[in-house]
Chains A and B, each alone.
Chain A
Amino acid sequence: AQTVTQSQPEMSVQEAETVTLSCTYDTSESDYYLFWYKQPPSRQMILVIRQEAYKQQNATENRFSVNFQKAAKSFSLKISDSQLGDAAMYFCASINTGTASKLTFGTGTRLQVTL
């Protein structure tokens, strides 16, 4: 079974600063994908970034980047130049290629962005 752990229930960052959200996962599979989703107060889950486990290069999407450490089973999200609109719940999730569309989510990290 897969597990995803987010050990930071809440984080706070000042506008324009950088923050890193932590995530660890556990899987016995060799082929899997990792995701970060953002859930703002509207409750709509929005994809932030996706990482294929077979790729060594860390994924990047504009101000969002990941630090994927496969051996340590760690998948942290770095948000640079934080903006007020980044305030949301952030969920780390994983999926094994063998289980089709079954995402396993962590418990989430609530990110506050202050002026």
Chain B
Amino acid sequence: KAGVTQTPRYLIKTRGQQVTLSCSPISGHRSVSWYQQTPGQGLQFLFEYFSETQRNKGNFPGRFSGRQFSNSRSEMNVSTLELGDSALYLCASSLGFSADTQYFGPGTRLTVL
């Protein structure tokens, strides 16, 4: 089976812009979770989508949003970018049952200038 894919792999944006990141899960997986990784804050949970519904949400401002499509692909959007949004954004997919193992994609490196 193909693994989790994320596009794009690298992005450079300027403050105030918005960005959309994409994640395609492993075939058959219905849950997609997003994480932000920074040197200062480490790995933090953003949100999780299951069957097109947000099932869980971390402690991030409303500028961070996401959605999931009927084929389980997910997008994450960040509006009004700030310098502090520079990070590695990881998505992970799982079958969606409680505490299933999550399999991660290669990440999208976002740099905000």
Contact = CB atoms under 8 A, between A and B. Distances in A.
Interface string B83-107: 0000010101010101111111111
Nearest to A43: B107
A43 B33 contact: no
A8 to B, nearest CB: 15
Interface residues of B, number: 27
A101 B33 contact: yes
B30 to A, nearest CB: 11
Contacts of A113: none
A103 interface: yes
A101 B94 contact: yes
A107 B42 contact: yes
Q: Which of A43, A106, A108 has the most CB of B within 10 A?
A: A43
Given A43-B106, A108-B42, A35 B33 contact: no
B68 to A, nearest CB: 12
A91 B101 CA distance: 14
Given A33-B99, A99-B56, A46 B48 contact: no
Contact of B104 (A33, A45, A106): A45
Nearest to B58: A102
Nearest to A95: B99
Contacts of B56: 99-102
B35 A101 contact: no
A97 interface: yes
Contacts of B99: 32-33, 95-97, 100
Interface of B: 31, 33, 35, 42-43, 45, 48, 50, 55-56, 58, 88, 90, 92, 94, 96, 98-107, 109
Interface of A: 32-33, 35, 37, 42-47, 50, 91, 95-108
Top-7 shortest CB links A-B:
A45-B104, A105-B43, A101-B48, A97-B98, A33-B99, A101-B33, A44-B106
